[in-house]
Structure 1
Amino acid sequence: MKNILLLSCAVLLFFGCIEKKKEETAEPEATEEITPDTLQTEEKKREMEPIAMKIDGSYFKATGTEPFWGLKIYDNMVQLQTMEDTITTPPSEAIKAQDSNIKMFRIQTEATQMDVIIAHKECTNAMSGEVSPYTVTVSYKNTGGDETVVYEGCGSYITDYRLHDIWVLEEMNGAMVSKEEFGGKDLPNMEININNNRFSGFSGCNRMTGGLFYEKDVLRFTQVAGTKMACPGMDKESEFLQHLQASTTYSISNNRLYLSNGNQENLLVFKKID
């Protein structure tokens, strides 16, 4: 009996050692740790997607919190989305303030009365901390109703994706231009990046860079800076830069960008480079 007990203990000890060795030699299962930093990095990656790829037809977007709401303005409609409903109305002409960059869209239909006020005033999203260039107020009520609902939030214009390209000067003041006029070097050209509303390029002698101010049908080239090299034909470069900074409106057709202002049409005409 004693021998049987000793044999049983030996067998149990032997198999116990085998199981322990399996546990020690087995490779741990690979796992991917997801941390708040990882999630934040992925969120930033999504935010950095090119604006040029986000095309839905709207030219202005606004959002707000507490409660959550969203606004999109299209050429053919205005859409307000709330937690309870989506309200779609025809557009209206903007009523513009005389002494500041404030626009109001006053919309009235059989079902809804709505005012949208867009003020060019820096706005910070209370939840995300994202800074936008416009403060937006939306107030609406059902036609014939007494209760007016007011939403406040932040917004921005969506820069025309067609601007996102490389452009070379073709005409200035209605006349074709040539390299010889600009000292024999390349013609003035620029690359417009709507992801950050910046542009950079060549002004005829010097390199140039600057920012874009964009609203619907409004385009201005701002904070223009350049190198300080001296070249033949500097007067043409100066004329080009003056026209570039004087332009306020634009149009695009036939692979060409036309820059104008209130006093003169087609100050500069650029051709798109494929």
Structure 2
Amino acid sequence: MKNIFSLLLLVSLMAGCKSTAGKTVEGQTTSEYGTQEDEMTNYFTATGNEPFWALKMGNDKIVFTSLISGKEKLVFPAVEAIKAMDANVKMYKLSNDTSSVTVTIQQLECQNSMSGAISPYKVSVEIKNNSELEAKKLDGCGKYNTDYRLHDIWVLEELNGFKVFVTDFQREFPRIEINSSENRFMGYGGCNSISGSIFYEKGLLRFSKVVSTLMACAPGNKEGEFTKALQSTTTYSIENNRLTLSNPSAKLLVFRKVD
């Protein structure tokens, strides 16, 4: 009986020591990349193992934490990416008073060596202490955190620079509902229901894999014009409860946030 009690106690302790990744802790969902708050304040997060390291990239600062020599935390000012011409590869050159770091982010499927989780970006880090001659090289996986402000329902107000009216569509204004945590959207195109995926990186937003129902639309319905503009989007801005979608050529769509 004593042995059974000891075994149960050991199992209980082991369960208590498990990672909280993917679980809710004090109202926040955590993952291998951190908490929801981390994802809201950082546009890109990455981690690696053996030794463990973490990277959090925000608009104001970039923070690198590792267990290379004890617990090391390095803070760098934010810098612009150096972009490759022929591939989705970005390089960041970071430096402060004590260290220099080169971060390379490549759009390539990456598997965490411990959890087995699949991420869309491969990340490599070269870190050099200013007092040392050689840099340490680390590999890991990462992801862009889609702007949480997009997570809402948006109703169309302008299309290709012109105000829209209900008479431009079947029965009501087009709308999209964006799920930023799943990078998906659904809504109404002005005649048919629509849905699809969003691709997000810092400063980049694309609506892709757009599908719709096949209801016949009345003559003059501008659904086709709307969906074409949606799929031509590359950038966005949010201000005064308005979501503006654009590309380098023009402002395409303006939506109003609704509850």
Q: State the TM-score, normalizing by the size of structure 1.
A: 0.81
Match of 2:242 among 241, 244, 256: 256
Letter in 1 for 2:179: N
1:151-181 deviation line (CA, Å, top 9, x unaligned): 1000001110100000000001111101101
Are 2:181 and 1:195 equivalent residues in the alignment?
yes
Match of 1:269 among 240, 254, 258: 254
By how many angstroms is 1:147 displaced? 2.1
How far apart, in 2, do the equivalents of 1:168 and 1:152 lie?
A: 43
Match of 1:205 in 2: 191
How far apart, in 2, do the equivalents of 1:178 and 1:36 lie?
A: 62
Match of 1:117 among 104, 126, 129: 104
How far apart, in 1, do the equivalents of 2:189 and 2:215 lie?
A: 11
By how many angstroms is 1:96 displaced? 0.2
How far apart, in 2, do the equivalents of 1:37 and 1:234 lie?
A: 62
* Unaligned stretches of 5+ residues in structure 1: 1-30
Match of 2:62 among 47, 58, 78: 78
Any idea what SS the aligned residue of 1:141 has? strand
By how many angstroms is 1:195 displaced? 1.6
Q: Is the 8 A contact 1:213 1:221 kept in 2?
A: yes
Are 2:37 and 1:55 equivalent residues in the alignment?
yes
Letter in 2 for 1:94: A
Percent identity, please.
45
Letter in 1 for 2:113: A
Normalized per residue, which structure has more helix?
1
By how many angstroms is 1:50 displaced? 9.3
Match of 1:182 in 2: 169
By how many angstroms is 1:246 displaced? 0.3
Match of 1:131 in 2: 118
By how many angstroms is 1:233 displaced? 4.3
Structure exhibiting the larger radius of gyration computed from Cα positions: 1
Matches within 5 A, 1:1-274: 44-46=22-24, 49=29, 54-56=36-38, 57-83=41-67, 84=70, 85-183=72-170, 185-233=171-219, 235-264=221-250, 266-274=251-259
The 1:195–1:97 alpha-carbon spacing in structure 2 relative to 1, beyond 3 Å, is same
Q: State the TM-score, normalizing by the size of structure 2.
A: 0.85
By how many angstroms is 1:44 displaced? 4.7
Q: Is the 8 A contact 1:62 1:153 kept in 2?
A: yes
How far apart, in 2, do the equivalents of 1:171 and 1:233 lie?
A: 20
By how many angstroms is 1:37 displaced? 10
Any idea what SS the aligned residue of 2:194 has? strand
* Unaligned stretches of 5+ residues in structure 2: 1-7
The 1:209–1:49 alpha-carbon spacing in structure 2 relative to 1, beyond 3 Å, is farther
How many residues get paired? 241
Q: Is the 8 A contact 1:60 1:74 kept in 2?
A: yes
Q: Is the 8 A contact 1:123 1:133 kept in 2?
A: yes
